[in-house]
Amino acid sequence: MIKLIAIVAGEPDSINSEIIVKAWKKIKNKKNFFIIGDFLLLKKQINKIKLKIQLVKINSIDEIKSIKKLNILNVPLKNRSLFKNNLINTRNYIFNSLDLAHKLSLNKKIKGFINAPIDKTIFKNKFLGVTEYLGNKQKAKNKEIMMIYNKKLSVVPLTTHLEIKNVTSKINSKLLESKISTLNESYYRLFNIKPKIAILGLNPHNSENRKNSIENKIIRPVIEKLKKLNMNIKGPFPADTIFNNQKKFNFNVVVGMYHDQVLAPFKALYGYDAINITLGLKYLRLSPDHGTARDIIALNKANPQSLIAAINFFNRLND
């Protein structure tokens, strides 16, 4: 079984170098773990924070030897500065790093990868985030899924980083069927468990069950159709009560219609104890469940818990 796991360094103007080093210091199994990023930049950033660690630059994963040093597969960033980098340089650097991790994963050189947070403005509105970018590279449109995972409960937003005013126009039967079917199949393949899935309505109180509501015209018929395909799926549930009733229903996954409908209550419940898993790809891609945190750059205050959880999740799959 493939053991190597790549950590894409991600956004240079961020807390990423800090959480990577803190995570590396705390995890027990270091032999699977290497970084894709600019060696000199990461070295300078780590020295700035005064975190002591031994780094080694490699130009191929075949050069990985020492587990006492943090191996960095070098992807150069042009005209590097310590934290604030030119947007064009940053964009090319992040895409080069992601594309390398994608290629290594597709070629089965690595198990998959974790990308540290990035600023989504690099996508110039062409993609909503890394999930959609990687889905497009694999021609998996409408099958790529953002699942925020905690061992007690996971959540999936049907639409991801989309403005609220555009959500309703994106919800249709085809998208619902595709996403939920992929979720059901991928969850079983990953955990060997047939998931119990709760589907939320879009509107407050499910539009009071009005006949012409999106809940009755689109969401409910899809649920009934998927039930006939032997999926363990229920709904639509009102979003304002589902998380209070989790112990009663014991769902594995709650699917919401838009990002904050499920992410806001989930983060209130679990905080940093969660990871972002992309389902529907040919390999496993994870990321910490937080952003670049520019307000605390170089202050040595960043919490590495979510990145540690992502690394440990990969390591458990390798056991």
Largest CA distance in the chain: 64
CB atoms within 10 A of CB 131: 23
Query: What is the Cα–Cα distance from 193 to 299, expressed in whole angstroms?
Result: 42
Q: What 3-state class would DSSP assign to 152?
A: coil
Query: What is the Cα–Cα distance from 24 to 32, expressed in whole angstroms?
Result: 11
What pLDDT, on the 0 to 100 scale, is given for residue 132?
86
Q: Which residues of the chain have pLDDT under 50?
A: 1
What pLDDT, on the 0 to 100 scale, is given for residue 87?
66
Domain boundaries 1-138+281-319, corresponding CATH code: 3.40.718.10
Determine contact, residues 298/83, Cβ cutoff 8 Å: yes
* Helix and strand numbers, DSSP H then E, in the chain: 11, 12
- The strand order across the sheet containing 70-74 reads 55-58, 70-74, 33-37, 5-8, 112-115, 284-288, 275-279, 145-149, 154-157, 253-256, 197-200, 233-237
Q: What 3-state class would DSSP assign to 138?
A: coil
What pLDDT, on the 0 to 100 scale, is given for residue 140?
75
What pLDDT, on the 0 to 100 scale, is given for residue 100?
96
Query: What is the Cα–Cα distance from 30 to 21, expressed in whole angstroms?
Result: 12
Query: What is the Cα–Cα distance from 114 to 7, expressed in whole angstroms?
Result: 5
What pLDDT, on the 0 to 100 scale, is given for residue 265?
94
Q: What 3-state class would DSSP assign to 135?
A: helix
* Through-space distance between the first and last CA atoms of the chain, rounded to whole angstroms: 9
CB atoms within 10 A of CB 294: 13
Determine contact, residues 226/180, Cβ cutoff 8 Å: yes
Return the structure tokens found at 7: 């950590």
Residue spans in the chain of domains classed CATH 3.40.718.10: 1-138+281-319, 141-280
What pLDDT, on the 0 to 100 scale, is given for residue 127?
85
Give 36-82 pLDDT, tens digit per residue.
999 999 999 999 888 888 899 999 998 887 777 899 999 998 877 76
How remote is the C-alpha of 233 from its chain's centroid?
A: 23
> Which one, of 54, 277, 15, 1, lies nearest residue 148 by Cα?
277
What pLDDT, on the 0 to 100 scale, is given for residue 302?
93
Q: Give CATH superfamily name and number for 141-280.
A: Isopropylmalate Dehydrogenase (3.40.718.10)
What pLDDT, on the 0 to 100 scale, is given for residue 2?
55
